[in-house]
Amino acid sequence: MQKNNIATKQDGFTMLNMLFAFAVFLVLMSFFPFVMKVMKTEISTTSYKVDLFFEHIRNDIVQAKELSISDGSLYLSMENGNRIRYQKYNTNIRRQVNEVGNEILLQNVDNVQYKIVSNGVVVSVEVAKKVAKKRLSMAPIIFFILYYRGG
C-alpha cells in the first residue's frame, strides 16, 4: 500500500521566495523617483531651449526690415545690409549671417515651419514630439505697450 505524499510535498511558494520577490520589488521601486525626476528635467529643459530660440529669433525679427521664406528657410534682411538665414540643418536649427557661420540655436528638432503673416512671422517648431508655435512681430514690444495704454 502506498502512502499519500500530498502533505509532504514542498513545491509551494515559500516565505523565502516571497521575501526575495519583495526585495527585488523594493530595489526596483527605489529607482522610480530618480527616473521620474530625470524625465521631468528633460521636458522642462526642452521647453526652456525652445523659449530661448523664440527669444533669439524675435530679437532679430524686430531689427529686420524685410522677411522672406525660401526652401524652408527664413531670411531676414537687416537695416545694415546683412542677410540672416534661419535654417533646419539635419536635426538642428542654425543661424547664418550673409551665408557664413554656423550658429546652432536649437538641437534635436523634428520639424520647423515658417509662415509670413502681416508684419511678422509664425514659427512652428517640433521638438521631442511636442509642437511649439509662436507669432513673432517685426514691431518692437514697446510699440504694443504704448498702443494698448493709449499713448
Report if residue 108 sits inside a domain: yes
Question: How far, in Å, CA of 49 to CA of 118, rounded?
Answer: 27
- Given the C-alpha cell 523594493, which residue does it identify? 26
Q: What is the pLDDT of residue 85?
A: 93
pTM: 0.62
Report if residue 92 sits inside a domain: yes
Report if residue 134 sits inside a domain: yes
Report if residue 20 sits inside a domain: no
**What residues pair up with 88 in beta bridges, in sequence order?**
93
Report if residue 2 sits inside a domain: no
Question: How far, in Å, CA of 55 to CA of 61, rounded?
Answer: 10
What pLDDT, in 10s, does the model give residues 23-40? 999 998 888 888 777 766
| Segments forming the whole domain that contains residue 63 | 29-149
Structural domains counted in the chain = 1
What pLDDT, in 10s, does the model give residues 85-141? 999 999 999 999 998 888 988 888 889 999 988 888 889 898 888 888 888 887 765
Q: Cell triple for residue 50?
A: 525652445
